Amino acid sequence: MDFQLSEDQQAIRQAVHELAQEMIKPRAAAADHSGEFPWESVRLLAEQGYLGMNLPTEYGGAGLDYVSYAIALEELARADATTAVILDVQNSLHAECILRNGNEAQRQRFLPPLCRGEVLGAYCLTEPQAGSDAANLLTVAKRVAGGYELTGRKVFVTNGSVAHRYVVYAVTDKDQGKKGLSAFVVDKDMPGVSFGPLLDKLGIRASATCDVVLDQVVVSEDRRLGEEGDGYKIALRTLQGGRVGIAAQAVGILQGAIDTATAYALSRQQFGQLIGEYEAIQWMLADMETEVEAARLLTYRAAWLHGSGQRAAAAISMAKLFASEAAMRGTVKGVQILGGYGFTSEYPAERMMRDAKITEIYEGTSEVQRMLIARHVLDLHTQQAAPLLV
Ligand SMILES: Cc1cc2nc3c(=O)[nH]c(=O)nc-3n(C[C@H](O)[C@H](O)[C@H](O)COP(=O)(O)OP(=O)(O)OC[C@H]3O[C@@H](n4cnc5c(N)ncnc54)[C@H](O)[C@@H]3O)c2cc1C
């Protein structure tokens, strides 16, 4: 067993670290405050090829292995969690979904513009009545000549109003339950596509979250991913890659909180000495550091399993569950270490605490991850070896 990152993986960390710390971090506080989508950060990342970083080079991607991808998202989130989720949605939930489930013509048509950064993608699964119960969709895809007519309302869509293209899940056969869902590629400029207002959020405030409304949107048959009825399977498989990204986002947020708290502990004096010399502060830092290392190892293992095509669902759920809850615990400590200053927007500690919360909620809540992990434990115990998700 070798815990050493490869030279390429170390180089990716260094490159993304420098870009994120020098160019993205300085913009994070203003975007958090205004809620304005960070176009300039996204443009910089597109320029460097990070908008298709986990896609094969034949489609214009950077061809990075999944551990490198996780490292890149981690370094971005360390600087700015909003930018990290924009890339997670672009790369995992949108592009990788088309890569894994589209046919060759769809891959050739849809992937290169995503990799060039000309197209920003989004993922539309959640509906008002279908959150954790993701199969309970009401959006309908009705058969019409040459294709389908989509009608429904998707909620909480990241990159919602700013994306150019969406993967949309809809019911093609309501009698078939989970097996009656299908996935479609929908363009923003198609007649019948509209958006709700941007949501005013606790954290990742600039990630342009809103409803996407579909009113009799006609899509041709060649925009269906996979077969009719494959939609639920596609949605859940796609979320596996996305969850690796969210685990990495959580690791990065916690690392950012450690960076901030450590620098503060080494500069702030009270009672004539640095607060970092007090055991109370050291123990908080020790707990944060231990948890970030544990979360990082779980995340890299999950990324490696997913990237190498192995059965990874339980490992991914464990990584997302642990990393997100560690980020929440650690960022609260991060604010505590900065005292009153941690409670103000003068320092990024409070933003990191707000940003950490969403990692316990989206792409499957902590409760949903525990359900999946428990199912895995019970399967192992009874030796039934039933697949976890698909
Ligand atoms: C900022 C943001 C961005 C998002 N981006 C996207 C996106 O791009 N695309 C997209 O499709 N969706 C997106 N979502 C939706 C997100 O994935 C859902 O919010 C999440 O899956 C939870 O669904 P819900 O909000 O309806 O909560 P609910 O499912 O209603 O859950 C409410 C509570 O009940 C618990 N619960 C539910 N069922 C069970 C159960 N069986 N056992 C125990 N507890 C349970 C949950 O864990 C939670 O604590 C986003 C959400 C947010 C907030």
- DSSP label of 50: G
- In this structure, are 128 and 177 located in the same domain? yes
Question: What are 226-257's pLDDT values in tens digits?
Answer: 999 999 999 999 999 999 999 999 999 999 99
Question: What are 173-230's pLDDT values in tens digits?
Answer: 999 999 999 999 999 999 999 999 999 999 999 999 999 999 999 999 999 999 999 9
At which of 179, 209, 227 does a domain end? Answer: 227
pLDDT at 384 over 80: no
Residue 172 lies in a domain: yes
For residue 319, give the CATH number of its domain: 1.20.140.10
Domain count, the chain: 3
325 noted as active-site residue: no
* 243 CA to centre of ligand 1 in angstroms: 13
In one-letter notation, the amino acid at residue 234 is I
Mean pLDDT of the region 74-95: 98
Chain centre distance of CA 12: 19
Closest to 48 (Cα-Cα) out of 77, 79, 11: 11
Residue 354 lies in a domain: yes
In the chain, the percentage of residues whose pLDDT exceeds 90 is 96
pLDDT at 389 over 50: no
- In this structure, are 132 and 172 located in the same domain? yes
pLDDT of residue 377: 94
Which residue among the candidates 75, 228, 360, 363 is catalytic per the annotation? 363
In one-letter notation, the amino acid at residue 151 is T
pLDDT at 7 over 60: yes
For residue 90, give the CATH number of its domain: 1.10.540.10
Check pocket membership of 363 for ligand 1, CB cut-off 6 A.
yes
Q: How far apart are CA 256 and CA 2, in angstroms?
A: 26
At which of 75, 103, 120 does a domain end? Answer: 120
212 HSE (CA, 13 A, CB side): 34
- In this structure, are 181 and 103 located in the same domain? no
Residue 389 lies in a domain: no
pLDDT of residue 197: 98
- In this structure, are 240 and 132 located in the same domain? no
At which of 120, 135, 155 does a domain end? Answer: 120
Q: How far apart are CA 342 and CA 99, in angstroms?
A: 43
Mean pLDDT of the region 6-23: 98
Tokens of 337: 């270490």
- In this structure, are 262 and 317 located in the same domain? yes
Beta strands in the chain, from DSSP E residues, in sequence order: 121-124, 140-144, 147-157, 165-171, 181-187, 193-195, 210-220, 224-225, 269-270, 273-274
pLDDT at 382 over 90: no
* 210 CA to centre of ligand 1 in angstroms: 14
For residue 188, give the CATH number of its domain: 2.40.110.10
- For ligand 1, atom 6, name the residue with the nearest CA: 157
- In this structure, are 352 and 243 located in the same domain? yes
- In this structure, are 127 and 109 located in the same domain? no
Measured from the Cα of 89, ligand 1's closest atom is 8
Residue 1 lies in a domain: no
Residue 216, Ramachandran bin (φ over 0: left; ψ between -120 and 50: alpha; else beta): left
Check pocket membership of 359 for ligand 1, CB cut-off 6 A.
no
Chain centre distance of CA 146: 34
Question: What are 150-159's pLDDT values in tens digits?
Answer: 999 999 999 9
Check pocket membership of 124 for ligand 1, CB cut-off 6 A.
yes
**Dihedrals φ, ψ of 269, to 5°?**
-110, 140
* 77 CA to centre of ligand 1 in angstroms: 21
For residues 346-360, one letter each, b for 16 or more C-beta atoms within 10 angstroms of the residue's C-beta and e for the rest, the string is ebbbbbbbbbbbbbb
Confidence of residue 380 (pLDDT cuts 50, 70, 90): confident
In the chain, the percentage of residues whose pLDDT exceeds 70 is 98
Check pocket membership of 127 for ligand 1, CB cut-off 6 A.
no
* 371 CA to centre of ligand 1 in angstroms: 14
Q: Which domain holds residue 141?
A: 122-227
- In this structure, are 237 and 378 located in the same domain? yes
Check pocket membership of 167 for ligand 1, CB cut-off 6 A.
no
- In this structure, are 12 and 88 located in the same domain? yes
Residue 2 lies in a domain: no
Check pocket membership of 367 for ligand 1, CB cut-off 6 A.
yes
- In this structure, are 238 and 377 located in the same domain? yes
Residue 188 lies in a domain: yes
- In this structure, are 148 and 113 located in the same domain? no
- In this structure, are 177 and 106 located in the same domain? no
Residue 103 lies in a domain: yes
Residue 388 lies in a domain: no
Confidence of residue 2 (pLDDT cuts 50, 70, 90): confident
